[in-house]
A and B are shown apart, each in its own frame.
Chain A
Amino acid sequence: MAESTLRVKVNQGILRSDTEEVSSDWKGSQRGEGCVLDFYTAMVLEQRGFQVRAGSVSTPVVGDVVITDQVCEMAAEAPTGLTLMPIFFNFGLNLAAATLFEVALKSRPWTTAITFTTAFTPLPLYIGGVGALSRAFVDAAGGVDVGVNEDLTLDRLHYHWAQPIAAGAYTTTATWEPIAPPCLNARAILYVQIGADTTGPSYFATINYFELPTASLS
């Protein structure tokens, strides 16, 4: 009878819960497929996922008039030794009477301290999980200042949503979920700009990101 050199252990009914540093048999299905855990799910289960959000219930935050260099509406800063990986960005505009809408998610190396009015404690995506090591900021109308102007040779543009006309025959909600999330090695800043002409758009927005020690990456 043929034999393999790799066997997995069937574990479908009662899941195991081994402790750190203990050898654990590779889980298999009753058919012999090896069970695997993708990077994203592993990260959230390990309590490495965090969220920065703006707006709640029926109270949106109002963006900038117009999108302005150096300032933004949401930001997260990775301190030395930490890497941020943004994995999800979602916004919905519920008032959009102006024109020339711009919603952008960018990152840049840290140059100078972020100035702000309102700090935001990132929410662990694992409810009850460990606190974030990064710092975050949320403010209306360009109230978060990342310290320097955007530079095409330094700032990464991860996502950009634009619309020339007032809310009408188009969807005012968008989501970014990258297949290859950028690695923002500290010190670095992740930031979101939401602006329009004549009147700032009202929005609800969320960014989710992973935190990993840079030493574990490079």
Chain B
Amino acid sequence: MTTQIQGIVNQDSPRSESDGNWIDLKVSKRGEACVLDFYIAAALEQRAFQVRAGALSAPLVGDVVITDQVCEMATESGTGLTIMPVELSIAINLGGGTLHEYAAKSRPWTTAITGTSFTALPMYLGGIAARSLSYVSAAGGVDVGANEDLLLDRLHYHFAQPIAMGAWEGLALWNPIAPPPIAGRSIFYVQIAADTTGPSYFAHYNFIEMSTVNIS
């Protein structure tokens, strides 16, 4: 008894089949089956977006000190929408304070976010716009509406450092192997703060957007 699976070698001229049509499985000229992982598929399908803070030589300045209920960056997934943060980067270029804390958290929505709106950038240049709402503001200028609650808020990543910037690496990177599905209505938020002087930072996070009905 044998099993035979064949694909179509398609290396030179990529096809462009329409939605809902069957298409022969692509294989390499050596016969390896070509697959597309969930994240690359989402990016190609224009479901990935970016929120960023700081540009060129102008960083934003974080909070003094980390403060309940407020943050520097946030995204709200509305009802029926799920966002999945897949990357967070925070680079510090002035860190004179002490007790640095940089954190990525999420929580169920309680009340409307206030702060300066940021139109999330499609990771697919020229792609469709995000349905979620994002906010970016210095020094705790984004208010998520409720204090952190250990029974509600998820702590996805935490960077802490007791001393002023010196011979420690001022870069916090979070690339989760299992990105949390933040099903709406919910909030993903980032806090960046230190004691005595707010850290100056360049930061961004990328997230995938998907209708919740396609997940559960």
Q: What total count of A-B pairs have CB within 8 Å? A: 237
- Cβ distance A148 to chain B, nearest Cβ, rounded Å: 28
**Size bin of chain A's contact surface:** 35 or more
* Whole-angstrom CA separation of A15 from B160 in the bound complex: 40
Q: Are A38 and B37 closer than 8 Å at their CB atoms?
A: yes
Chain B residues with CB under 8 Å of A147's CB are none
Chain A residues with CB under 8 Å of B55's CB are none
Q: Contacting B168 at CB < 8 Å: which of A45, A123, A169?
A: A169
* Whole-angstrom CA separation of A74 from B150 in the bound complex: 14
Q: Are B181 and A126 closer than 8 Å at their CB atoms?
A: yes
* Whole-angstrom CA separation of A34 from B213 in the bound complex: 22
Q: Are B161 and A16 closer than 8 Å at their CB atoms?
A: no
- Cβ distance B165 to chain A, nearest Cβ, rounded Å: 11
Chain B residues with CB under 8 Å of A4's CB are 6-8, 24-25, 27
Known interface pairs A31-B26, A43-B178, A172-B168; A56-B162 also in contact (CB < 8 Å): no
Q: Are A90 and B157 closer than 8 Å at their CB atoms?
A: yes
Q: Are A204 and B162 closer than 8 Å at their CB atoms?
A: no
* Whole-angstrom CA separation of A171 from B172 in the bound complex: 10
* Whole-angstrom CA separation of A141 from B182 in the bound complex: 32
* Whole-angstrom CA separation of A4 from B24 in the bound complex: 6
Number of interface residues, chain B, beta carbon within 8 A? 78
Q: Are B35 and A95 closer than 8 Å at their CB atoms?
A: no
B27-80 residues at the A interface, CB under 8 angstroms: 27, 33-39, 41, 44-45, 65-68
* B103 on the A face (CB < 8 A): yes
* Whole-angstrom CA separation of A107 from B156 in the bound complex: 22
Q: Are B177 and A29 closer than 8 Å at their CB atoms?
A: no
* Whole-angstrom CA separation of A60 from B152 in the bound complex: 17
Chain B residues with CB under 8 Å of A175's CB are 157, 174
Known interface pairs A88-B178, A172-B168, A208-B178; A57-B66 also in contact (CB < 8 Å): yes
Chain A residues with CB under 8 Å of B160's CB are 60, 92-94, 172-173, 203-204
* Whole-angstrom CA separation of A92 from B100 in the bound complex: 10
- Cβ distance A17 to chain B, nearest Cβ, rounded Å: 5
Chain A residues with CB under 8 Å of B179's CB are 41, 44
* Whole-angstrom CA separation of A40 from B25 in the bound complex: 24
A3-47 residues at the B interface, CB under 8 angstroms: 3-17, 25, 27-38, 40-41, 43-45, 47
Q: Are B161 and A92 closer than 8 Å at their CB atoms?
A: yes
Q: Which segment of B9-17, B112-120, B131-139, B199-207 sits at the interface?
A: B9-17
- Cβ distance B148 to chain A, nearest Cβ, rounded Å: 5
Known interface pairs A6-B6, A16-B214, A94-B99; A28-B38 also in contact (CB < 8 Å): no
Chain A residues with CB under 8 Å of B153's CB are 56
* Whole-angstrom CA separation of A13 from B44 in the bound complex: 11
* B111 on the A face (CB < 8 A): no
B155-187 interface bits toward A, Cβ cutoff 8 Å, 1 = contact, 0 = none: 111111111001111001010111111110010
Q: Are A206 and B106 closer than 8 Å at their CB atoms?
A: no
B128-146 interface bits toward A, Cβ cutoff 8 Å, 1 = contact, 0 = none: 0000000000000000000
Q: Contacting A94 at CB < 8 Å: which of B16, B151, B161?
A: B161
Chain B residues with CB under 8 Å of A8's CB are 22-23, 25
- Cβ distance A77 to chain B, nearest Cβ, rounded Å: 19
